[in-house]
Homo-oligomer: A and B are copies of this chain.
Amino acid sequence: MPAEPSGATSAAPRPRVRAPQSRRAELLDAAERLFLQKGVAQTSVDDITTAALVSKGTFYLYFSSREELLGALRERFVLGFCQRVDAAVGRRAASGEKGWNARLRAWFTAMLDGLMDQVMLHDMLFHDPHPASRELMKDNPIIVQLEALLEAGAASGAWRVADSHAMAIMMFHSMHGLADDAIARGVTTQRARIVRRLADTFAAALRPC
């Protein structure tokens, strides 16, 4: 039952201690790549460790289960996505653009960029709808930030917003839907057009009067 070290004629003992500290990230990267290529359910722990050039046992040194790896990947995605959007919005704001609709456009642009570069990944990761994956949306930081933007615009009198939460959700999902559609059509280059549609539509919807 022990290891019985690879029987008599064991081949070369493989290099030990390759990189210094990267192991965990390497496994995360390999898993992400494979999940994207073959699907989550179709990717085994073995596939992952093979791709990461690491032994199977090593996997369990860094993750206590396959499921934990998925969790880590989700966390990494959300973090990365928020950072991208924040950074992009911040950049625009800094570049002197002004006006609420301009800000909204900045938002759509940043999010669309963030999303379209990673929709596949997003879908992959947030898919088993049985546990509370839908719950995540309830406190989705993106939605929360969007609500804040809407309320600020409303407070300034620039927009009329009856229900900022519902509006934020419509915006987010409109964008998500357009991104998905573009990807399904294989058209991933028309981002400007999509942003224009979003901005026009919601600017009209927010117009006071």
Residue positions of A touching B, CB distance < 8 A: 1-3, 5-6, 20-24, 38-39, 41-42, 60-66, 120, 123-124, 127-130, 134-135, 137-138, 162-163, 165-167, 169-174, 176-178, 180-181, 183-185, 194, 197-198, 200-202, 204-207
Q: Chain A contact residues: over half helix, strand or loop, or mixed?
A: helix
Report the minimum CB–CB distance from A57 to chain B (whole Å).
Answer: 12
Asked whether B41 lies within 8 Å of A138 as measured between CB atoms, the reply is no
Asked whether A184 lies within 8 Å of B135 as measured between CB atoms, the reply is yes
Asked whether B123 lies within 8 Å of A41 as measured between CB atoms, the reply is no
12 extra interface residue pairs, beta carbon distance < 8 Å, beyond A123-B134, A172-B177? A2-B62, A3-B62, A5-B21, A5-B22, A39-B128, A124-B129, A162-B197, A166-B197, A167-B201, A169-B174, A170-B198, A171-B174
Asked whether B24 lies within 8 Å of A2 as measured between CB atoms, the reply is yes
What is the chain B residue whose CB lies nearest that of A197? B166
Say yes or no: A184-B137 contact (C-beta < 8 A), given A41-B1, A129-B127: yes
Asked whether B197 lies within 8 Å of A170 as measured between CB atoms, the reply is yes
Asked whether B177 lies within 8 Å of A1 as measured between CB atoms, the reply is no
Say yes or no: A170-B177 contact (C-beta < 8 A), given A64-B1, A205-B205: yes
Separation of A200 and B3 alpha carbons in the complex (Å): 50
Asked whether A3 lies within 8 Å of B138 as measured between CB atoms, the reply is no
Separation of A24 and B7 alpha carbons in the complex (Å): 13
